[in-house]
Amino acid sequence: MARKELAKAYEPWDVEEKWENHWEENKTFTPDPDGPGEAYSIVIPPPNVTGVLHMGHALNLTLQDILCRFNRQQGKNVLWVPGTDHAGIATQNVVERQLKEEGLTRDDLGRDKFIERVWEWKKEKGDHILSQVRRMGASVDWTRECFTFDEQRAKAVREVFVKLFEEGLIYKGDYIINWCNRCHTALADDEVEHEAKPGHLHHVRYPLGDGSGHLIVATTRPETMLADSAIAVNPEDERFNHLIGKTAILPLVGKELPIIGDAYVDIEFGTGCLKVTPAHDMNDWELGRKHDLEVISILDESGVINENAPEKYRGMDVKTARKAVLADLEAEGLLEEIVEHDHSVGVCYRCKSVIEPHVSTQWFVSMKPLAEKARAAVPTQTQIFPEHWTKTYYNWLDEIRDWCISRQIWWGHRIPAWTCEDCGELIVPMDDPTSCTKCGSSNLVQDEDVLDTWFSSALWPFSTLGWPDDTKELAKYYPTSCLVTGFDILFFWVARMMMMGLQFQEQVPFHHVYIHALVRDEKGKKMSKSTGNVIDPLDMISKYGADALRFTLTSFAAMGRDIKLSEQRIEGYKHFMNKIWNATRFAMMNLPEEIPAVPLSEADGLANKWILHRLEEVKQSIADATREYKFNEIAQILYKFIWSEFCDWYLEMIKPALYGEDEAVKAGTQKVLWTVLSEIMVLLHPVTPFITQEIWSSLPRPAGDERSEDLATLPFPDMRAECLDPEAVKEMELFMGVVSGTRNIRTELLIEPAKKLDLLIRTVNDEDKRVLEANTLLIQSLARIETITLGPDVTAPKASGAAVVQGNELSVPLEGVVDFESELARLDKNLAKLEKTMGGVSKKLGNPGFVNNAPAEVVEKEKGKLVEMEEEKNKLSQLKARLESVMG
């Protein structure tokens, strides 16, 4: 095979686009369900069609890709299914904003025309996120791309809904739900985000019905008192338990309220008396059902006071009504006091509007029967990594409430339920009905609501494999092998997939769940646009390449630990990509067109034996770390091996062999160099697919090597037990210790790098003496040594730099090499200058006027300067002491 020339510098952008297109056009990642190999499958957490790639996506995709590429190398039949989520509320909001700019609303278009408009938007812009997934190098099977709202997924949703309804696990009823006044839809508990906000506890007097006094009730929402149904106290509370069974008068309304007893009431919170408003508080709803209380709703679906409240408040929004109620209470002498109180406020996860509890008729899934199966399956059938998330998973399932699945929007799977206008019969069929199953009437009306987006994504692991059809993919790849996802959708998605998988496939949907951590900024703060600390992965790819970003994320992806990311770190790993590229160029300049057919066992020399041994250890370590989801260890192992051992040591050590006249030694070294470099590409490929693929396609090969140019299809390198050589490692550690020790003497005593030195080694035993004698020329070359004298009787002159390596004493004579007097004078001058500067900074930091009045960042900057100068002073002082000790 003719050699390809590598460019002088690695420019990732053209390379990435070339190989993205190659893999997709050649269907490199499209597996055959009938093909050989144990199945390994992953379904991508479907990003919203409205979304753009963020750093969480980048991490998630990188980790999944490592697993998929590694398992292909293991000979497994790997399927990674891509796709997107139709994101009901978010997508509808996007299109409604477009309509607003045109002076239109969805009602102006009507349901059918509006849905057409959303599909147009999806076709034009909805797949933008997938092009960004491509830029990450994700090895998904693009021929099996799915969408939670496409025809096959709609078929699965219909099947599941109807079957759950027939089994009594889906029902319709009145219930208190989370309502978004802005989006005009119900939200599941998980879709409500809670924010800590400052507020107030309003202490309101409720006169007792018999005129004997009053109770004081503390509430954060005085406007909802207009819908009170009772006052509750704890039966154990001696202050109030004698009032149970009596009544109180509802201020501003005048009706009598029963005083009830319930252990739910917290004696210590507020005043110990609780107003019970079943229609406007989730917990009050449960109390109301328990005590058979009246349910009064005073807010309409836009958050406006309705006809169930006194006339004067009707038409007011919540804030206006609150002010009016407080003013009226104060006017009537019923407002005892207002106390500041921070509390948790629920907001819509989409538009961030405050959520209102709202009683309405909705569709629900009965969760407890499903949750019991999902709980029992962990960890016997499905393991969660890190393990501590298992407890969180259990807690949520143990406390689960029924899932409100109906949404009052138009974009989504419309609920397949029809009501007969003539007889009231509810019909939930597999196919759209034409007549009533009870009375035969054709006067049928379909439910207006659509299903929660999470309903369709809960079916993702098996709907993406073709269910409810009996497909080869479903038989081969279900259950899937691993789900990689963020902790924030452990409940939204993971638990629900477990329930649906067990219910409809009688198997868990995945054997492993890997919960990755959060990507934060370099100071550990959560990234957000409002704080301006977001690092855009697409910007980073444009600046440094996808491989540099992927390697950075992998290197910090320690299990259970958040990632602190900075652009500087990504830039640093771009330098690592350059190091790999330059090392390859050096290797290729010293490799022939056809690699010599020399057995590795015949390659002589310490460097060759050592690097082959280390390669075997690295292969085993990489395989172990990947199987154990220790992604950061994969990166750390590769970085150390490639940068330090391969580039800094091995390539330097083999130069004499490559440049020498001994053709047998050269051929053996070339074979080892090619073997190690080519297998590095295979090992590194799952983490950095682009640069490794480009290099692999340029490398020369041995005669008869017919392996594919497509690195993504190559197997993991075979283990070679015959290359393990612990003795070579032991010898190499001694060699490296001597070279490093000599270099450290040069560095510590500020000896010029180009200055040739003499080295004396007092050896501790004959074996070490043999090893060092055999590698004298290499030590001279790497440590820039003129002469080496070694043996058990070697003695060093008085003025020498010294180090000890495994008991062997190294000495570098310094007479004529270092001008001690000049160096000491220079050090004294630098120390005096540094101490003067430190004194000025210390004085400034000791001035209360500066510390108290200067901006905090300025003060911190000065403190940082002082720390840096202290460190510099210590280094100079240590060098001075070292020189003085050498002078003796």
Whether residue 69 lies inside any domain: the answer is: no
Region 576-584: mean pLDDT is: 97
Query: 228-237, 785-794, 798-807 — which is least confidently predicted?
Result: 798-807
Torsion over CA of 287, 289, 290 and 292, rounded to 10 degrees?
110
- Please name which of 673, 675, 701, 686 lies closest in space to residue 638, comparing C-alpha atoms: 686
Tell me the CATH number at 844. 1.10.287
Of all residues in the chain, what percent carry a pLDDT higher than 90?
A: 73
Q: Are 805 and 854 within one domain? A: no
CB 243 within 8 A of CB 341: no
**pLDDT tens digits, residue range 768-779?**
999 999 999 999
Q: How far is CA 522 from CA 53, 567, 809, in A?
A: 20, 9, 43
Number of domains in the chain: 4
Q: Which of 308, 336, 356 is the last residue of a domain?
A: 356
Q: Which of 356, 372, 405 is the last residue of a domain?
A: 356
- In this predicted structure, what is the pLDDT of residue 888? 60
pLDDT at 574 over 90: yes
Q: Which residues are annotated as a binding site?
A: 529
- In this predicted structure, what is the pLDDT of residue 301? 86
Q: Are 827 and 805 within one domain? A: no
pTM: predicted TM-score of the whole model, two decimal places: 0.83
Q: Are 766 and 880 within one domain? A: no
- In this predicted structure, what is the pLDDT of residue 723? 95
pLDDT at 637 over 70: yes
Query: What residues form DSSP beta bridges with 414?
Result: 450
Region 604-608: mean pLDDT is: 94
pLDDT at 1 over 70: no
Whether residue 194 lies inside any domain: the answer is: yes
Q: Are 767 and 685 within one domain? A: no
Q: Are 570 and 649 within one domain? A: yes
Query: 214-228, 630-644, 861-875 — which is least confidently predicted?
Result: 861-875
Q: Are 201 and 339 within one domain? A: yes
Q: Comparing 881 with 92, which gets the higher pLDDT?
A: 92
pLDDT at 53 over 80: yes
Tokens of 496: 């629900």
Q: What would the 3-class secondary structure string for 183-234 be?
A: CCEEECHHHEEEEEEEEEEEEEEEEECCCCCEEEEEECCHHHHHHCCEEEEC
Q: Are 776 and 875 within one domain? A: no
Residue 266, C-beta contacts closer than 8 angstroms, at least 6 positions apart: 234, 272
Range of the domain at 807: 728-813
Whether residue 782 lies inside any domain: the answer is: yes
Whether residue 578 lies inside any domain: the answer is: yes
Question: Rounded to an integer, what distance in angstroms lies between the CA atom of residue 705 and that of residue 718?
Answer: 15
Which is it for strands 510-516 and 480-486: parallel, antiparallel or unpaired?
Answer: parallel
Whether residue 293 lies inside any domain: the answer is: yes
Region 153-158: mean pLDDT is: 98
pLDDT at 856 over 90: no
Q: Comparing 869 with 734, which gets the higher pLDDT?
A: 734
Tokens of 56: 């969480």
Per-chain mean pLDDT for the chain: 93
pLDDT at 96 over 50: yes
Question: Rounded to an integer, what distance in angstroms lies between the CA atom of residue 210 and that of residue 335?
Answer: 20
Q: Are 867 and 800 within one domain? A: no
pLDDT band at 528 (very low <50, low <70, confident <90, very high): confident
CB 201 within 8 A of CB 342: no
| DSSP states of 593-623 | SEE----GGG--SHHHHHHHHHHHHHHHHHH
Tell whether the torsion through CA atoms of 828, 833, 836 and 840 is positive or negative: negative
pLDDT at 2 over 70: no
pLDDT at 823 over 80: no
**pLDDT tens digits, residue range 666-697?**
999 999 999 999 999 999 999 999 999 999 99
Q: Which of 664, 681, 709 is the last residue of a domain?
A: 709
pLDDT band at 188 (very low <50, low <70, confident <90, very high): low
Whether residue 407 lies inside any domain: the answer is: no
Region 286-309: mean pLDDT is: 92
To the nearest 5 percent, what fractions of the chain are helix, strand and coil? 45, 20, 35
Region 732-744: mean pLDDT is: 95
What count of Cα atoms within 13 Å lies in the side-chain half-sphere of residue 4? 11
Q: Which residues are annotated as a binding site for ATP?
A: 529
Tokens of 555: 């290197």
Region 88-100: mean pLDDT is: 90
CA–chain centroid gap for 577, Å, is 23
Alpha helix locations (H) across 526-662? Answer: 537-544, 546-555, 567-589, 606-627, 631-639, 651-653, 655-659
pLDDT band at 190 (very low <50, low <70, confident <90, very high): low
Of all residues in the chain, what percent carry a pLDDT higher than 70?
A: 99
**pLDDT tens digits, residue range 376-413?**
999 999 999 999 999 999 999 998 988 989 988 999 99
Question: Rounded to an integer, what distance in angstroms lies between the CA atom of residue 47 and that of residue 736?
Answer: 50
Whether residue 137 lies inside any domain: the answer is: no
- In this predicted structure, what is the pLDDT of residue 798? 79
Question: Rounded to an integer, what distance in angstroms lies between the CA atom of residue 734 and that of residue 384?
Answer: 44
Q: Are 640 and 757 within one domain? A: no
Region 50-63: mean pLDDT is: 94
Cis ω for the linkage preceding 386 (within 30 of 0) = yes
Q: Are 245 and 288 within one domain? A: yes
- In this predicted structure, what is the pLDDT of residue 3? 56
pLDDT at 546 over 60: yes
Q: Are 574 and 695 within one domain? A: yes
Q: Are 337 and 204 within one domain? A: yes
First-last CA distance in the chain: 64
Whether residue 402 lies inside any domain: the answer is: no
Cis ω for the linkage preceding 379 (within 30 of 0) = yes
Region 537-554: mean pLDDT is: 97
Tell me the CATH number at 234. 3.90.740.10
Q: At what angle do helices 12-25 and 689-696 cross, to 10 degrees?
A: 80
